[in-house]
Structure 1
Amino acid sequence: MMVIRPVKDEDYAGLRELGRLTGPGFTSLQDNDTQVKAKLDRGVAAFSSDKPAKEALYLFVMEDTDTHEIVGVCGVESAVGLSEPWYNYRVGTMVHASRELNVYNQFNTLTITNDHTGCAELCTLFLKPDAREGKNGSLLSKSRFLFMAEYPKHFSQRLIAEMRGYSDENGVSPFWEGLGRHFFSMDFDKADQFSAMNKVFIAELMPLNAIYTNLLPKEAQEAIGKTHNFTTPARRMLENEGMRYSGYVDIFDAGPTLEAQVNDIRAIRKSQYVKIQLEMDDEQAHDDNDQYLISNTRFANYRCCVSAINKISRNLISVPPAVAKALEIEDGSTVRIVPLSTKRRV
């Protein structure tokens, strides 16, 4: 069984292995010892106190309870841009017109902004390729919503998620080649690594005036707001939960930023408390199409998994012993549940 739990110090090796697999454009977890250790330390520190922090990274891992292997990672930043700048491009429109010449031209522009300063951010979502099956991707991504529903005071009420931008089969970002390279004089991978550690150089090197996108190569223009092929399923999943693209893109690869109010997220808004009744064994019949996210209500010992359930009444469900063990709950415990699918009703 797969279970989501807070990251621990002893997860370094598993987290480091995930960093080796992420690939170009995955800024938040790279093949870099220093960055992985720093992220691990921040994640562990976030769960050391249940009092809301100004800035905290709530980092979770997906663990296979049979093998104890770390197969995935996901996180939520409580607020971004408070201790160091948070940059992205706003896609805008500029009109140049002349009545005398009967000319009317409309152009798209990119303007560097800090508009998402203070927003909570969904981040660091990565699942090992050989674990991308069944409901694992949905569990990894959506488990964060039940934690946010349980501890709303820990997060800004405006939520964003940066999607990895488009790059070709060789890992080349056409947007970077058409724009960023001219100002940074380095490869995309190197600039991406720097940005994960220190964003000061962005303000030092990037143009502060609006950029007319029609001056960029066609391939770069077409990449604006386009998602990496590997990230497209994650984007669709978040859009189904209520997040939307509103015209902001990453300054390096032009990947889209999705956003929503926290309370507008389906899995948060429709989640509810129920009591648990343990079943006698794991063989009891369930409707396998009726899958639910189930989480305990703890902070440092948060656990979340996916399971079919049997509804006994509106506020009482039964689950197999294996689910109770994974969630570290007992008969009569209170849990939070929500249908895994956006098409199901509570």
Structure 2
Amino acid sequence: MTKHGEIDQAYLIRPVAMDDLDALLALILCSSGGLSSLQPRKDFLKKYIKGSIDSFAGILPIESPHKYLMVMIDVAHDRLIGCAAVKTQIGQDSPFINFDLFGDGESQVLKASSRFTGATEVGSLFLHPDYRDSGLGRYLTKVRYLLMAHEPWRFGETVVAELRGICGTEGSPLYDHLFAYKLDKTFLEADAEYFDRNPDTLGEIVPLGAVSVYNMPVGVKASLGQPHPSGIGAMRLLQSEGFIFSGTVDLFDGGPIMAAHRDTIRTIMASKTEQIVGATDAINARTALITAGSVSDFRAVVAPAAALETGLFIAPYALPVLDAEVGDTVTYWQGEPPRRKAQNTPSPVQAQVNTKAKA
């Protein structure tokens, strides 16, 4: 990191590979059970990785579920430090059942629902604790949206994100009230089985008809639609992208399911497609998320870049990481520059461009 908080090296984000299995497992174990969509079991992860490889390769029918799992690499240390995923056609090959929340006051009820069947889901987001203060989590979040921007037709118009609800090793208010006595399992045990999507188990426990909220214990009512304290930051990031609470909560922990229209996600709307016109360590370069290739050969890099009228200048050490060269077209996202006082002196990059123009 530089003194201005910008990234001063390249971080690669690419599709997961089978060779990542051990490193991915080690990363997931750092989550202490918080990454429940990626179970810390090699057999589970092998199947997930294989499905992701097939999804990126484009060998699956477009109407079938796809799982695009990406990993972030600290290039300088050759270390896998994060992951993020996009899933399409959720609920098609395994149940995606939750509760819709209807009404207010005495008439408020929960009703089992599969309303998001066929939607696209963003999730499986985790960054190693050693890198939490780097600002990299912002880019790991956004790379999922830029993946969609490359070939929007692959992804549903409705995009959802599940946030962990009020739960822990001690249980979850909603689960303990509605399901514990039926399953005779702890919340964590049941949650793991739920993520294996066992249709027989779900069919036996999901309540039929409306479930009154009014007569539930106060703690249960208060938990509905609330994210786990560790997920408040994630909820704010989703809200900054235009996601809103959908009125649907997780079946077991009552966490909020956020939803947005794919084409109105702010990172997608703010992304730009430009040609790489040069490689330079410009003083005015700022951290950008730069993506190249189609979905089948998707790659992204977090590195300094400077966007000018003529195109995009990228830090020279980032080009080989991105497997790109000057003249290639890339899609990128870059935050707004910090506010500064007006200056009459052009930046080194602008001066270089002006000099060439005069010549």
TM-score (norm 2): 0.85
Q: In the alignment, what sits opposite 1:191?
A: 190
| Residues 27 and 82 in structure 2, CA contact (< 8 A), matched pair in contact too | yes
2:171·2:188 contact (CA, 8 Å) conserved in 1? no
* Deviation, structure 1 residue 277: 2.1
1:300 aligned partner: 296
> Which residue in 2 is equivalent to 1:247?
247
Counterpart for residue 174 of structure 2: 175
Partner AA of 1:183 in structure 2: K
User: Measured at CA, do residues 127 and 341 of structure 1 come closer, stay the same or move farther in structure 2, by a change above 3 Å?
Assistant: farther
Unpaired segments ≥5 residues, structure 2: 1-9, 340-359
Instruction: Find out whether 1:324 has 2:322 as its counterpart.
Output: no
Measure the CA separation in 1 of the matches of 2:323 and 2:172: 44
Q: How does 1:181-220 map to 2 (within 5 A)?
A: 181-200=180-199, 201-220=201-220
8 Å contact kept, 1:293–1:340: no
Gaps of 5+ in 1: 95-104
Other structure's SS at 1:34 match: helix
Q: State whether residues 26 and 164 of structure 1, in contact with CA within 8 Å, keep that contact through their aligned partners in structure 2.
A: no
Deviation at 1:318, TM superposition (A): 0.7
2:30 matches 1:21:
yes
Q: Which amino acid aligns with 1:152?
A: P
Identity of aligned residues (%): 28
> Structure 1 47/114 Cα, relative in aligned 2: closer, same or farther at 3 Å?
same
Give the match for residue 102 of structure 1.
none
Higher helix share: 2
- For 2:241 and 2:59, the matched residues in 1 are separated by 27
Are 2:76 and 1:76 aligned? no
Q: Distance in 2 between matches of 1:331 and 1:25?
A: 41
SS in 2 for 1:331: coil
Per the alignment, residue 31 of structure 1 pairs with 40
Deviation at 1:50, TM superposition (A): 6.8
- Following the alignment from structure 2 to structure 1, what is the Cα–Cα distance between the partners of residues 301 and 107? 47
Aligned partners of 2:210 and 2:283: how far apart in 1?
60
Pair 1:343–1:185, CA change in 2 (3 A)? farther
For 1:251 and 1:16, how far apart are their aligned partners in 2?
A: 26
For residues 157 and 259 of structure 1, the distance between their equivalents in structure 2, rounded to whole angstroms, comes to: 10
**Alignment-mate amino acid for residue 3 of structure 1:** L
Q: Superposition pairs for residues 274-313 of structure 1, below 5 Å?
A: 274-280=274-280, 282=281, 284-288=282-286, 291-313=287-309
Q: Cα–Cα, structure 1 residues 342 and 246, in superposed 2: closer, same or farther, change >3 Å?
A: farther
2: CA distance between counterparts of 1:343 and 1:207? 52
Tell me, in whole angstroms, the C-alpha distance in 2 between the residues paired with 1:317 and 1:171: 51
Q: Counterparts of 1:233 and 1:82 in 2: how far apart (Å)?
A: 30
Q: Distance in 2 between matches of 1:343 and 1:92?
A: 43
Structure 1 residues 224, 297: closer, same or farther in 2, change over 3 A?
same
Would the aligned equivalents of 1:27 and 1:195 in 2 still touch at CA under 8 Å? no
Alpha-carbon shift at residue 272 of structure 1 (Å): 1.8
Cα deviation per residue 1:295-327 (whole Å; 9 max; x = unaligned)? 1133333122333422331x5011111221221
- Residues 317 and 52 of structure 1: is their aligned pair in 2 closer, same or farther, counting only changes over 3 Å? farther
Q: Which residue of 1 aligns with 2:259?
A: 259
| CA displacement at 1:52 relative to structure 2 | 6.0
Q: 1:199 to 1:165 in 2, by over 3 A?
A: same
Distance 1:37-1:215 versus aligned 2 partners, 3 A rule? farther
Distance 1:133 1:52 in 2: 40
Deviation at 1:278? 2.6
Shift of 1:41: 1.5
Contact 2:23 2:80 in 1 (8 A): yes
| Superposed displacement of residue 342, structure 1 | 11
Which residue number corresponds to residue 166 of structure 1? 166
Match of 1:48 in 2: 57
**3-state DSSP class of the match of 2:214?**
helix
Q: Which amino acid aligns with 1:142?
A: K
Structure 2 distance, partners of 1:267, 1:22, is 26
Contact 2:151 2:294 in 1 (8 A): no
Instruction: State whether residues 22 and 30 of structure 1, in contact with CA within 8 Å, keep that contact through their aligned partners in structure 2.
Output: no
Amino acid in the other structure paired with 2:303 = S
CA 1:38 to 1:51, structure 2 compared with 1: closer, same or farther past 3 Å? closer
Q: Which moved more, 1:70-79 or 1:16-25?
A: 16-25
SS of residue matched to 2:330: strand
CA distance in 1, matches of 2:42, 2:15: 20
- Measured after TM superposition, the shift of residue 249 of structure 1 is 0.5
